[in-house]
A and B are shown apart, each in its own frame.
Chain A
Amino acid sequence: MMLLEHHAKEFLAAAGVAVPDGILITADELAGAAPAFVFPCMAKAQVPVGGRGKAGGILKVKTAADLPSVLDKILGLTIRNHPVRSCRLEALVDYQAEAYFSLAFDADSGSLRILAAAEGGVDIESPEMRAKLLQVAAVPDPEHAFAALNDLVLGLPETMRGPIREVGSRLIPLFFEREALLIEINPLFIKSDGGWIAGDAKLLTDDNALPRQPELRALIENNPDLYPEAALKLAQGFDFVRLDPEGDIGLVTTGAGLSMQLVDEIVQRGHRPFNFCDIRTGGFKGDPSRLVQVLKWVSSGPNVRSILMNFFAGNTNLAELVPLILVAMERVELRQPVTLRMTGNGFDAAMAILAEAGNPIHVETDLELAVDRALAVAAESADA
């Protein structure tokens, strides 16, 4: 999970990395009194993606009186499909130069990469910037990382060596203790007196490590509105991502890969999936509540006109699944028609259960036919 800049900076500060003073403001708090903060300052949209500046998500606030209108602008944005739910107010920094520093895993080789450059603040992916990056690879443990950092620093201009060595030696322990996948400081501001401070911060954490990372777990649990997908996964053990609030097709599907592929194919055919979902039937254990939850979310989409369920029962049993679907549908009182694609173990028994219930769901065994039908239902209802 990519932490919001504000939270990333809190972890950095706790590890001894200097960051500008800052506070987090959410949309709910906007109506309240103006926060006690030093103006002028920067207001920065908190979303887990880059390109915030270009999207109008980073603005200067000259006086306290300007704050409401600036926040109004920023909190109304959607940046690369992420609605801006919070904003960081941050003190201005006086600096002389900018640098770049990051620690990242190279998943392919299984090594740790340390990168630095005597310039920063710009798009690190650009070819010009890539050419200026110094990098070293290390066996992923603190001891090797420190040795690699020392090698890296030698390649930098003299004025940069001290700051990069200090930043690096504080971030390496943080990287391993918090089981990070990426920490990036871009820009790292270098002050005229040789001091330094992190201008921006990215911290990518490992969701799989949450069972043994209580601080990260607490962060998610205390901010479910800011990390909705991670909070859901943590609390309920499955994935649900709202893709398009205007979407017309609701998905109740299992398996990450097949669910992603279905989303892709529906988009390709000119429809808009409301959500992605990997409901994990293996976790039901005879309880319909997960299905009830997902059906509630999906059916609450204002434009959702058709619901597609897909269950390929390679290892599960459809005869155990179908009764749960029936219970869940009854509890949610769905207004949208459902197309259920199912095939695999227990199919005949599952069909018998449906027949006994009066066949309330349209069933297809072929995925293509099921998608055709679900999309046709949505199109018809949009025309009506």
Chain B
Amino acid sequence: MLDAFVRPDVPILVQGATGRSGRSQTAGMVAYGTNIVAGVSRRDDPEAKVPLFRTCKEAVSATGAKASVAFVPPLDVLPAVLDAIEAGLELIVTVAEGVPVHDALRAKAVTREAGMRWVGASTPGLAIPGKMKMGFLPSVSLAPGPLGVMSKSGTLSYEVCYRLVERGYGQTLWVGVGGDAVKGVRFADLVPLFAADPATKGIVIVGEIGGSEEEELAEALIASRCEKPVFALLAGRSALEGVTMGHAGALIQAHVGTIETKTAALRRAGATVSETIKDLIEAVAGTLESKS
């Protein structure tokens, strides 16, 4: 079922393949078993491990790539998205931190119009554990298992999944949607996938203050009549109003995007909302153990 979002063997090109991080992350993804078929860059790189092209379109006609992961600087994300659309790709993951919101808005509008799924603006990526990853979700936190994971924060989700894996609970699919205010794929978009996927026995959400994505997710859970157990951890209870706490999306304004509104909405939708990482791990373990 999750194939509708991303297939394990989808042929992938890397935009920004010759940069410092593009080069090392490409090696990391290939080592993990990801089907990387091409790189796109304005520069040549005699040491490149994959064939290089100037544009996505050239890469697609030569290799049949269907998806892209872009390791380009934040101000180059919008041009990279436009290039990917031009090539007719079906999915793009962008990882750069610090994409301007006005660029993200434009990217959102054009990807929606083109029917291309966009995971970004800034995310550690996604992974089908044991099979592939697009981006750099750490391998120590990845293992095949029964959980559908979606996360705003990279680091907090690494910690949560690392400890869940230690307890024997890996993932069917993990999508980092990122901590930006304006983004492509949102929590709610993933609910129908996880709800319908027979291998996914539970859903883990790593959210945080700001915006209304968790509230929207709660509505989607109700609308999809998802019967699977849903576990959420929400960071930023003690954040300072009016100040950005690391993530652009995590800026609270009075009465909008607070922990209270998010917790209430998710609980109404039947989710278990934990205040600590430990409580979340215990809730997942307790529930899935009793079911198996």
* Residues of chain A at the chain B interface (Cβ within 8 Å): 1-2, 47-51, 80-82, 105, 107-108, 110, 125, 139-140, 176, 179, 181, 204, 206-209, 211-212, 229-230, 239, 241, 243, 254-261, 263-265, 267-268, 273, 276, 278, 312, 314-315, 343-345, 367-368
B216 touches A212 (CB 8 A): no
A224 to B41, CA, bound (A): 38
Additional A-B contacts beyond A241-B240, A258-B153, A312-B159 (14; CB < 8 A): A2-B242, A105-B181, A107-B249, A108-B211, A179-B102, A208-B248, A259-B155, A260-B239, A265-B277, A273-B238, A312-B158, A314-B136, A314-B140, A344-B138
B162 at the interface (CB under 8 A from A): yes
B245 touches A367 (CB 8 A): no
Contact of B255 among A125, A181, A343 (CB under 8 A): A125
B241 touches A81 (CB 8 A): yes
Known interface pairs A211-B75, A267-B238, A268-B276. Does A1 touch B244 (Cβ–Cβ under 8 Å)? yes
Set of chain B residues within 8 Å of A81, measured between Cβ atoms = 240-241
A80 to B159, CA, bound (A): 31
Known interface pairs A110-B182, A255-B153, A312-B162. Does A206 touch B101 (Cβ–Cβ under 8 Å)? yes
Known interface pairs A50-B254, A257-B156. Does A276 touch B101 (Cβ–Cβ under 8 Å)? no
A344 to B159, CA, bound (A): 10
Chain B residues within 8 Å of chain A by Cβ, number: 62
Would you call the interface of chain B mostly helix, strand, loop, or mixed? Answer: loop
* Residues of chain B at the chain A interface (Cβ within 8 Å): 74-75, 98-102, 105-106, 108-109, 112, 136-138, 140-141, 151-159, 162, 179, 181-182, 186, 206, 208-209, 211-213, 216, 233, 235-251, 254-255, 275-278
B280 to chain A, nearest CB (A): 10
A264 touches B236 (CB 8 A): yes
Contact of B102 among A80, A209, A230, A367 (CB under 8 A): A209
Task: Return the chain A residue nearest B157 by Cβ.
Answer: A257
Contact of A255 among B101, B140, B155 (CB under 8 A): B155
A243 touches B158 (CB 8 A): no
Set of chain B residues within 8 Å of A264, measured between Cβ atoms = 235-238, 275
B102 touches A258 (CB 8 A): no
A48 to B254, CA, bound (A): 11
A149 to chain B, nearest CB (A): 18
Contact of A261 among B235, B248, B255 (CB under 8 A): B235
Set of chain B residues within 8 Å of A105, measured between Cβ atoms = 101, 105, 181-182
Contact of A209 among B100, B140, B216 (CB under 8 A): B100
A50 to B151, CA, bound (A): 30
In the complex, the 3 A-B pairs of residues with the closest C-beta atoms, listed nearest first: A257-B153, A255-B155, A256-B246
A207 touches B244 (CB 8 A): yes
A241 touches B255 (CB 8 A): no
Would you call the interface of chain A mostly helix, strand, loop, or mixed? Answer: mixed
Set of chain B residues within 8 Å of A276, measured between Cβ atoms = 239-240, 245-246
A241 to B239, CA, bound (A): 10
Set of chain B residues within 8 Å of A211, measured between Cβ atoms = 75
A80 touches B241 (CB 8 A): yes
7 inter-chain pairs at a CB distance below 8 angstroms, sorted by A residue, are A105-B105, A179-B100, A256-B247, A258-B153, A258-B235, A260-B245, A314-B141
Set of chain A residues within 8 Å of B212, measured between Cβ atoms = 108
Set of chain A residues within 8 Å of B101, measured between Cβ atoms = 105, 179, 181, 206, 208-209
B235 touches A257 (CB 8 A): yes
B100 touches A312 (CB 8 A): no
